Amino acid sequence: MSIPNFIKKYNQYAERAYGLGQSSQLIGIEDLKALIVGFDNSSKGNRFISLTTNTTVKEWTRGVPFEAIYKISQLNCMLGGDYTKRVNDQRIREGLPADFVPSINPRVERKISKSLWLFKNGTTKIAIFPQQSGGAFYFVKDKDGLREVEKSIVAPYLNQVSVPVASQGTQQDVPIRTYDVESVRAIHIEGKEYMIDSSREVYNTIYSLVKDKLKTV
């Protein structure tokens, strides 16, 4: 698959602004959506990728001694997989009938493609199958500016993630996650690295500080 022209045109700017290598391209959010749909519509099927996401954990929250807490994490995962087939394959491996039918997510408006979902609240998310964590880093902003901290410093203020009860009927879960496209900072796919330019400059700064520490497929 050739690199689209809209990605090529960002090369020079990416080199100058972010110090990216020759193999990296800087793209926008809409370009990322087009890239995902393009891969979903290709005949190559599943592919392993590395996804780097940047989120604001807390911002201007009472009782938190920081103006903001940011998290950047990397995940090795699979893009373009068939959720129903993956669950039924696992059921077969466990000696169960392949009769799993996923429930309809009431929050999803429609699926733009296999991996790109439009939610009813207007957000667009990428659906992936996680394989292995590549690490996470935390930053805080306070009177001294932006700085990296250990997770233990911000752990008391992090949101607790609830784990839903599995409905697959299997001993080993087949996880699927969705990430807001606005939170994606970089995607490594088929040997190429695409960095996504954020409208929030702090996200671009944080990514530039930790990108060499992140593991990629």
Domain ranges within the chain, ordered by starting residue: 5-213
C-alpha dist (Å) from residue 208 to 31, 51, 54, 196: 20, 15, 12, 12
Report the pLDDT value the prediction gives residue 110, as an integer from 0 to 100: 94
Residue 28 pLDDT exceeds 80:
yes
Task: Give the list of residues 6+ apart from residue 82 with CB closer than 8 angstroms, or none.
Answer: 114
pLDDT at 103: 85
CB 196 within 8 Å of CB 211? no
First to last CA, the chain: 19
Q: What is the residue-averaged pLDDT of the chain?
A: 82
Average pLDDT over residues 134-152: 92
> What's the confidence (pLDDT) of residue 169?
85
* Average pLDDT over every residue of 108-126: 93
Position 60 pLDDT exceeds 70: yes
User: What average pLDDT does the segment 34-49 reach?
Assistant: 84
Whole-model pTM? 0.76
More confident: 51 or 167? 51
Name 49's Cβ contacts closer than 8 Å, sequence gap at least 6.
76, 77, 78, 79, 128, 187, 188, 189, 217
How many of the other CB atoms lie within 10 Å of CB of 134? Answer: 19
Residue 6: pLDDT above 70?
no
One-character DSSP codes across the chain: -PPPHHHHTTHHHHHHHH---TTEEEE-HHHHHHHHHHHHHSS---EEEEEEEEEEEEES-TT-SSSEEEEEEEEEEEES--HHHHHHHHHHHTT--S---PPP-TTEEEESSSSEEEETTS-EEEEEEEEEEEEEEEEEEETTEEEEE-HHHHGGGSPPPP-PPP-S--SS----EEEEGGGEEEEEETTEEEEEPPSSHHHHHHHHHHGGGS---
